[in-house]
Amino acid sequence: MNKKTKLKILQETKKIVKKIGWGSQVIEELKMSNKFKYNELKILFPDGYSNLINLSLTELNEDLINAINSKNIISLSLTKRVKKILMVKFNLLNKDKAFYNKTFNHLLLPTKSIIMKKNLYNSVDTIWYLAGDNSTDFNFYTKRLILASIYINALFIFYNKDLIETENNIDKNLKKISKIPKVKERLRFIKENIPIFFKSVMN
């Protein structure tokens, strides 16, 4: 029951965020809508709107898992699997681009770096899981760092351009990284391809 109520509140939240952005005012707007009781909001979202941000991004990952599980990608090469998963993710983002754009810009704030780190890790970890990655050694971390740099780079393209440009950007970076054999050189790729705002997020 709580899950159903949370998702109903999230749908209302998305309408509010598209108009005024994220902030403590979101909870106030939810209260003023008279659709939800204050005690209900307090119990379900004890940390306020931060809980709602996490919920929205968790649900996005769930939608990605469901979408990929309905497709047959196991016959594709690992690189093509990763690309396919990324493009499904960006198509999901595109369905509610205005909301996710507001969320992305809000998480660029230095005060939101903890939420950004947590959700960035969850996103790339989910993508590698869906791609069938079973690494447990140092590669586990380098793969996630590399994918994080590709994903972040693509997010900037996506929010400033369109899906076609995003796909071109992903193709270019996946092709570039596939030609880099050494870990040291791959880490240099990460450093050079993360926008300056994200330098602190990745530390």
Q: What's the CATH number where 36 sits? A: 1.10.357
**The pLDDT value given to residue 196:** 46
Q: What is the dihedral of CA 87, 90, 91, 96, to 10 degrees?
A: 180
d(CA 26, CA 174): 38
Report the first-to-last Cα separation within the chain, whole angstroms: 39
Residue 153: inside a domain, yes or no?
Answer: yes
Residue 58: inside a domain, yes or no?
Answer: yes
**The pLDDT value given to residue 190:** 58
Question: Quick one: tokens of 6?
Answer: 């949370």
The total of structural domains in the chain comes to 1
Token pair 């899950």 is at which residue? 3
Residue 186: inside a domain, yes or no?
Answer: yes
**The pLDDT value given to residue 193:** 58
**The pLDDT value given to residue 37:** 84
**The pLDDT value given to residue 188:** 63
Residue 203: inside a domain, yes or no?
Answer: no
Residue 6: inside a domain, yes or no?
Answer: yes
**The pLDDT value given to residue 105:** 96
**Domain extent at residue 76:** 2-198
Task: Report the predicted TM-score, pTM, of the whole model to 2 decimal places.
Answer: 0.86
Reading the chain (203 residues) residue by residue, the pLDDT tens digits are 589 999 999 999 999 999 999 999 999 999 998 888 888 899 999 999 999 999 999 999 999 999 999 998 989 998 999 999 999 999 999 999 999 999 999 999 999 999 999 999 999 999 999 998 777 666 777 888 889 989 999 999 999 999 999 999 999 989 887 665 555 555 566 556 555 445 444 45
d(CA 136, CA 106): 33
Residue 131: inside a domain, yes or no?
Answer: yes
Residue 69: inside a domain, yes or no?
Answer: yes
